[in-house]
Amino acid sequence: MTTKKQKMVENAKSSKKAGSTDVATEPNVGQTDSRWTGAFREILSGSAVMSVMAVVASIIIGGILIAVTDSRVQETAGYFFARPGDMLQAIWESVSGAYSSLFQGAIYNFRRPGFLNGIKPLAETLSFATPLIAAGLGVALGFRAGLFNIGGRGQMLFGAAAAGWVGFSFDLPYGIHLVVALIAGIAAGALWGGIAGYLKAKTGAHEVITTIMLNYVAFYFVYWMLSTPGMLQAPGSNNPKTPGMKDTAILPQLFGPNFQLHAGFLIVVAATVFVWWLLNRSSLGFQFRAVGFNPHAAKTAGMNVNRMYFYVMLYSGALVGLAGVIQVLGTVTTGFSSGIDAGIGFDAITVALLGRSKPWGVFAAGLLFGAFKAGGFSMQAAQGIPIDIVLVVQSMIVLFIAAPPLVRAMFRLPKPSLEATAGASNVQGRKAVVSK
C-alpha cells in the first residue's frame, strides 16, 4: 500500500511539473507570435506603406486610362469575343510602352549610346524635383505646426523677384554675388510668408484665406514690376520679362553644361537636413510640433502660440522662396516672367501630403513628382499619350492620401493604431493606478 501511494504521489508531482512547463512555455510562444504579428501590423498600417500604396493605386488607374484611350485597344474591343487575345495584347503594349517611356524619360534611357547619355534623364528628374522639394518642405513645415500654407505661388514669386533683381542688377565678385542673391530671395519669401503669420497671430485671420489673397497680390505686383521700365523689365524691351542673370549669380552645373542639374540640388539636400534637425532636434521645432498637435495644451504649457505661428510662416515662406530662387538662378537664367512659379507652389502641397509632412518623406515625394514631370514629356513624345494622364495620376495620389480607408479596403491593409491606442490607454491607466 505504501509503495502504491508513493507512486501515485510521484505521478501527481510529475504531472504537475509537466503541466507547469506547458503553462510556462505556451504564453511565451503566444507572446512571440503576437509580437511579430503586431510588428507586421504596425508596418502595414504605417504612413509610409499608405503612401506607397497610394502611388501604386494611382499608377494602376493611370494604366487603365492609358488602355481605354488607346486607339488600338478601342479597335480590338470591337471583336473581343472573337479574338480576346488581340485586345489583351493591345492593352499590354499600350500600358507597358507608356510606362517604359516614362521610365526612360525619368531614370535611364537604354536607347542612348553610352552611360552618360543614358543617365541624362535622371539629371532632368533631379532638376525638376529640386524646386518641388524646397517648396514641399515649406508647406510640410506649416502642416507640422497646424498651418495650411497655400500661398506658395506668392512666396515663390517674391523670392524669384528679389533674387533675380540682385542677380542682374549688381556687379559683385563670383561667390559673393550668388550668396547675396540667395539671401535676398530667401528673405523675400520669408517676408511674404511672415505677413500671413503676423495676421494669424495678431488678428486670428485664417492662413488659407490670407495666403490665397497674397498670391494674387504678389502675382499682380510682380507683373507690374516686370512691365515697368527701370524695375524688373529688361531695358529696351516691351515684354514683361527680366534680363538674363549675370554669370556671377548663376548656380554652377554639377556635371557640366550637357546636364541640367545644378548646385541647387545640393542646397535642397542641405535644406532637408536643416528642416529635419529643426523639427526633431531643436527646442523651436518641438514647440512647432506641440502647437500643431494641440495649441491649447501648448499654451497651457507656457508656449507663446501666436509667436510660433509667426515663426512657422517665416520659415515656411523662406523655404518656398528658396524654390523661386533656384528657378531664376539655376533653371531659367536667361530672364523670367510672371509664370516662373510653373505651378510648383500648388504641386508642393501634394508633395508635402505624399511625404506625410516629414522632411525625408517630402524629399522622396519630390523625386517621384520630378520623375513624373521629366518622364511625362518623354511618354507624350514616344507614345503620343497626353501629358494630362500624368496629371491624373498625381491627382489620384492626392485622392488616395486624403482617403486612407479606401486604400486599406483596396489592398486589405489593417486599421492603424487600434492596438497602439489601447496600449497607450492601458499605460495611462497603469500610471494613474501607480500614482494613486
- Taking CA atoms, 33 is separated from 21, 26, 293, in Å, by 18, 11, 34
Q: What 3-state DSSP class applies to 253?
A: strand
Euclidean distance between CA atoms 284 and 310, whole angstroms:
12
- For a pLDDT cut of 70, what percent of the chain falls above it? 85
Cβ–Cβ under 8 Å, residues 264 and 251: yes
Lowest mean pLDDT among 26-40, 87-101, 231-245, 284-298: 26-40
424 — pLDDT class (breaks 50, 70, 90): very low
Q: What is the pLDDT of residues 267-300, one digit of tens each?
A: 999 999 999 999 999 999 999 999 999 999 999 9
Q: What is the pLDDT of residues 19-74, one digit of tens each?
A: 544 444 444 555 555 666 666 666 665 677 888 888 888 889 988 988 888 888 98
Instruction: Count CB neighbours of 399 within 10 A.
Output: 15
The predicted model gives 156-180 an average pLDDT of 94
Euclidean distance between CA atoms 164 and 287, whole angstroms:
34
- The domain ranges of the chain are 45-106+368-416, 134-354
Count Cα atoms within 13 angstroms, Cβ side, for 158.
25
Cβ–Cβ under 8 Å, residues 385 and 97: no
Phi first, then psi, for residue 78 (nearest 5°) are -70, -30
Rounded to whole angstroms, the maximal C-alpha distance in the chain is 124
Alpha helices in 327-403 (DSSP H): 344-354, 359-383, 388-402
Listed in sequence order, the residues at least 6 apart from 237 whose beta carbon sits closer than 8 Å to its beta carbon are none
Q: What 3-state DSSP class applies to 413?
A: coil
Residue with cell 504596425: 42
